[in-house]
Structure 1
Amino acid sequence: MRTDRDETETDEVGVATTRKTFALLEALKDEEGLTIAELTQRTGLPKSTVYRHLQTLTDLGYVIERDGNYYVGFRFVELGEQARSRRVGYTAAKRAVFELGQETDERAVFIVEEDDEAVYVHRYGSLTNTMIGHRRPLHSMASGKVILAEWDDASVTRYVDDVGLEAITSNTITDPDELFDELERIRERGYAVNNQEHMDGLRGVAVPVYTPDDEFLGSLAVFGPTSRFTDEYVHDDLPTRLRDKAGEIRVTLAYG
C-alpha cells in the first residue's frame, strides 16, 4: 500500500524534475543556440540529465535541435498567444498599441499585472517582440503605477511589504508615503508619468484601460527619450492621445 510519505517523496522528485526542465528553458531563452556542453555549464546540471530533458522537450516540440545546437521551439508561441488572447480586451488592445505607435512615432505598450509584476502583453516600436512576456516592478513604471492606483490602500501596503520598493534608478520611488502621494495624484489626473524611474534617459506616460462594465483591463503607455518627452508633451499632448485610444478599446469591446 502506498503511504503518505511515498506520495510526498514522489511529489518532491516531480518538483525537482520540473525545476530542471525550466532551468534549461530559461537558459535557452537567455541565449539560444546552445550545445549540451554549454547548457551543462550554464545550469550546473549533469550532462546526462541535460540530455534526457532535452530529448523529452525535443520530442514534444518545445525545443528544436539544429546541428547540435538547441533552440526554443514554436510550440511556446502557441501557449503565449493563448495567454495574450485570454481576455477579449487583450486582443483589442493590440490594435490600439499599433495605432498609437504609428500616430506618435513612439514606443507604445499594453501592460497588465500578474503576481505583483507588470507584464508586457503588446508592444510597438521594436524590431523584435523580445519584451513580450517580460516582467518589471510595478512601482518603477508609469504603467505599473497606473495599476497600483487601481488598488486600495491595503493592497498597496501588501505590495510594499511583500515586494518592496527597490531603487531601479536614482529616481525610483522608494518611500511608501511618497508612493501613496503619487498614486493619489494619478487617480486625480487620470494618468501616470515615469520620470526616468525605470531607466535613465527615458520618460513615459500611461493611462488605465477599462471594459464597458468599468472593469480595469490594463494600462496603455508610450515612452521615449527625455529629449523628446518634454513636460508639455508629457502632460498636455500624450495623456489626451492615450485616453482617446483607451476609449476606443472600450468602444470596441462594447460594440465589436
Structure 2
Amino acid sequence: MNTDRDELEADGAGVSTTRKTFELLEALKAEEGLSIAELTQRTALPKSTVYRHLQTLTDLGYVIERDGDYYVGFRFVELGEQARSRKVGYTAAKRAVFELGQETNERAVFIVEEDDEAVYVHRYGSLTNTMIGQRRPLHSMASGKVILAEWDDDAVETYVEDAGLEATTTNTITDSDALFDELERIRDRGYAVNNQEHMEGLRGVAVPVYTPADDFLGSLAVFGPTSRFTDEYVHGELPTTLRDKAGEIKVTLAYG
C-alpha cells in the first residue's frame, strides 16, 4: 500500500508513477524486444513495478507482448499523427517536403519549435522515419536558427540563458554575440545555413514558412554532404527553391 501511495504522489518534477511509465517507454524506444528482466536492468525499477506498468500499457494497446518480449505498440502512431496534423499547415507542409525532396534529390525536412527545441515533423529522403518527433538544439541547425530569427532579442536571450549554446561540433555557434549576428544575417537575406554546425560533413539550408495571415508556421530545409552542398549551391539555387516551396504552402493554405 505504501508503494502504491508513493507512486501516486508528486516527486518534485511530476507524478512518480507517470514518470516511471515513460521511463519504461523510453527504454523500449531505445531498444525494442525487451523482457521484464531486461527492462528492470535498464531502468533500475523493481521487477514488480515494471510488470504492473507493462500490464497497464499492454491492456491499453500502447505496448505489445510477443513471446515474453515487449515492444512499443502502433497506438502511438495514432497519437503521433494527431500531433503532426494539429495545424492544417503541418499537413500542407508534408506534401511540400515530399515534392522538395523529389525536385532536389536531397533530404528535406519540415521542423517546428516546441519547448525551445527543434522538432522534426516531416522528412523525405530515408527508408524510415526515424527522425520524426526527435528534438535538436535550435542554435545548431539551419531550421532552428530560422526559428530563432523569428523571435525578438529578449526571447533569444532567454533561450541562451535557459538552453545554453552547447557545441555539437567545432562549428557550432557557442557565443551569444555571434548568434545574434547570425540571426541578423538570416533576417536580412531570408534564409539560414548550417555549415557543419550540427554534424561534421553536413550542410543545410532553411527558410521560414508562413500562413496566409503571415504567422510563422515552421521551417523548411534541405541538407546533405559538404561535397555536394557547395557555397554556390547553398547560397544560390537552394534558397530560391526553398522560398518557392514555402510560398506554395502559403498559397495552399489560402486557397486549398
TM-score, L = length of structure 1: 0.96
Residue number in structure 2 paired with 1:20: 20
Query: Can you list the C-alpha shifts for 1:161-192, whole angstroms capped at 9, x where unaligned?
Result: 01100011000000000000000000000000
Query: Can you list the C-alpha shifts for 1:9-39, whole angstroms capped at 9, x where unaligned?
Result: 9542781111110000000011111111110
Residue number in structure 1 paired with 2:203: 203
Tell me, yes or no, if structure 1 residue 243 matches structure 2 residue 243: yes
Tell me, yes or no, if structure 1 residue 102 matches structure 2 residue 105: no
Read off the aligned partner of 2:114 and give its amino acid letter: E
Read off the aligned partner of 2:10 and give its amino acid letter: E
Matched-pair contact (CA < 8 Å) for 2:7–2:16: no
Deviation, structure 1 residue 8: 10
Hey, what's the Cα distance between the residues in 2 that align with 1:69 and 1:241? 47
Read off the aligned partner of 2:142 and give its amino acid letter: A
Hey, what's the Cα distance between the residues in 2 that align with 1:125 and 1:218? 19
- Equivalenced residue count is 250
Residue number in structure 2 paired with 1:41: 41
Deviation, structure 1 residue 150: 0.1
Residue number in structure 2 paired with 1:149: 149
Residue number in structure 2 paired with 1:181: 181
Residue number in structure 2 paired with 1:222: 222
Matched-pair contact (CA < 8 Å) for 2:97–2:123: yes
Read off the aligned partner of 1:146 and give its amino acid letter: V
Q: Residues 248, 223 of structure 1: CA spacing in aligned structure 2 closer, same or farther, 3 A cutoff? A: same
Q: In structure 2, the residue corresponding to 1:96 is in which secondary structure?
A: helix
Residue number in structure 1 paired with 2:172: 172
Read off the aligned partner of 1:104 and give its amino acid letter: T
Hey, what's the Cα distance between the residues in 2 that align with 1:124 and 1:9? 42
Matched-pair contact (CA < 8 Å) for 2:8–2:16: no
Q: In structure 2, the residue corresponding to 1:161 is in which secondary structure?
A: helix
Hey, what's the Cα distance between the residues in 2 that align with 1:8 and 1:20? 12
Q: In structure 2, the residue corresponding to 1:12 is in which secondary structure?
A: coil
Hey, what's the Cα distance between the residues in 2 that align with 1:51 and 1:125? 39
Residue number in structure 1 paired with 2:121: 121
Hey, what's the Cα distance between the residues in 1 that align with 2:212 and 2:77? 30
List structure 1 runs of 4+ shifted beyond 4 angstroms.
7-10
1:74-89 correspondence to structure 2 within 5 Å: 74-89=74-89
Residue number in structure 2 paired with 1:4: none
Read off the aligned partner of 2:145 and give its amino acid letter: K
Deviation, structure 1 residue 208: 0.1
Runs (5+) with no aligned partner, structure 2: none
Hey, what's the Cα distance between the residues in 2 that align with 1:207 and 1:102? 18
Matched-pair contact (CA < 8 Å) for 2:6–2:16: no
Q: In structure 2, the residue corresponding to 1:169 is in which secondary structure?
A: coil
Identity %: 87
